[in-house]
Amino acid sequence: MALEIISPNEPMPVNAIKVYIYGDPSMGKSSLGMTARKALIIDADKGAYRTGALRRAPVQIAENWIQVANLTEQDLEPFDTIVIDTIGRLLEMVRSHLANDSRNTKGDGSLKLNVQGTANNIFQTFVNRMIGYGKNVVFLAHATEDKDDDLVIRRPDLGGKNRQEIYRLSDCMAYFTYEANQKGGSNRVLKFGWGANYHSKDCANLGNVNVPDLADNPTFLGDLIESIKTHLNTLTPEQRESVEREQTWIHFMQLCNEAQYASDINNLMELMAENVEHPQYLNKNMWYAIQKAAKDLNMVYDQQRKRWFETEAQ
């Protein structure tokens, strides 16, 4: 069989993508997920019943992680999209599964630090298997808010480490919210474009996308996913890498600006260290950004421990 070689200046086919959507309660996240193409809803929150008349897709109620992990390619053959509702609850199931083994826990019952990393790896392996099957994956998450001086910032309601891992795993991420319109009312909007008061990732030049009445638009999310793939399929590998680097840098700078504690700065150090696939100049710029953020917070760097500390903690 002849090799099908794709040269660096040719687009790389994208058959399946990962989309990350988070929003406040009662925004209609589950109903939105139901409009993905040939969707299977993995209902970890056990809230799919609330979609009422908008429950268009089959639902697999997730009781535990093993039940989800054992889904086979044959099981998933009828579906094009796997919707995880919500990703926070499913990650809790992974951690609970690992905690069943006492060797993975500390005296207080919490997971050992290295096992928390194992939980992330297990979940990423599952997602990559779905992509390998040719399935689009949609992560649904609740939103939480933090204050940075007078600015209220909306983020997915996941722990810092998990939040960054899922961000990096995703092709696009949007904050699902209401936005005032010119008629004095409001529209539901998926905010993929950058904003100072929310987190997002836009690798397909989507900007803000209005969400119509889903009762009249039963294929809305499926059509949106196809448009994202169509855009990505016009890009060469170099162009895709350039867009990903740009989004990574924008997000990293946002995290630097939002940092308030030494733990935030040290998390940024870990995030920088994980970006080994990025060019050296990007990691160098990340290091400069970390130093500035730490200096603005009056922190000091311990060369021996390779960590930042509040001045009074020294």
Residue 123 has a pLDDT of: 92
* In contact, 214 and 28? CB cutoff 8 Å: yes
Q: Is the pLDDT of residue 314 over 60?
A: no
pLDDT band at residue 59, thresholds of 50, 70 and 90?
A: very high
Buried b (16+ CB within 10 A) or exposed e, 224-263: bbeebbebbeebeeeebeebbbebbbebbebbbebbeebe
Between 3.90.1200, 2.40.10, 3.40.50, 1.10.3470, what CATH number should domain 18-234 receive? 3.40.50
Residue 56 has a pLDDT of: 83
Residue 183 has a pLDDT of: 80
Residue 138 has a pLDDT of: 97
* In contact, 250 and 284? CB cutoff 8 Å: no
* In contact, 158 and 79? CB cutoff 8 Å: no
Q: What is the pLDDT of residues 189-246, one digit of tens each?
A: 999 999 989 999 999 999 999 999 999 999 999 999 999 999 999 988 888 888 988 9
Distances (CA, A) of 46 to 84, 153, 215: 11, 27, 22
Residues 71-84 have a mean pLDDT of 96
Task: List the domain boundaries for the chain.
Answer: 18-234, 235-314
Residues 51-60 have a mean pLDDT of 86
pLDDT band at residue 1, thresholds of 50, 70 and 90?
A: low
Q: What is the pLDDT of residues 127-183, one digit of tens each?
A: 999 999 999 999 999 999 887 667 788 989 887 677 888 888 899 999 999 988 878
Residue 71 has a pLDDT of: 94
Q: What is the pLDDT of residues 4-20, one digit of tens each?
A: 777 767 777 889 999 99
Specify the residue for token string 């083994």. 101
- pLDDT, averaged across the chain: 88
Q: What is the pLDDT of residues 259-294, one digit of tens each?
A: 888 988 988 888 888 776 666 667 788 889 999 999
**Which structure tokens are listed for 25?**
């309660």
DSSP 209: E
Residues 56-68 have a mean pLDDT of 92
Vertex 174: Cα angle to 171 and 177 (nearest 5): 170
Buried b (16+ CB within 10 A) or exposed e, 125-147: ebbeebbebebbbbbbbbbeeee
User: Comparing 184 with 310, which gets the higher pLDDT?
Assistant: 310
pLDDT band at residue 118, thresholds of 50, 70 and 90?
A: confident
CA–CA separation, 20 and 175 (whole Å): 9
Residue 270 has a pLDDT of: 85
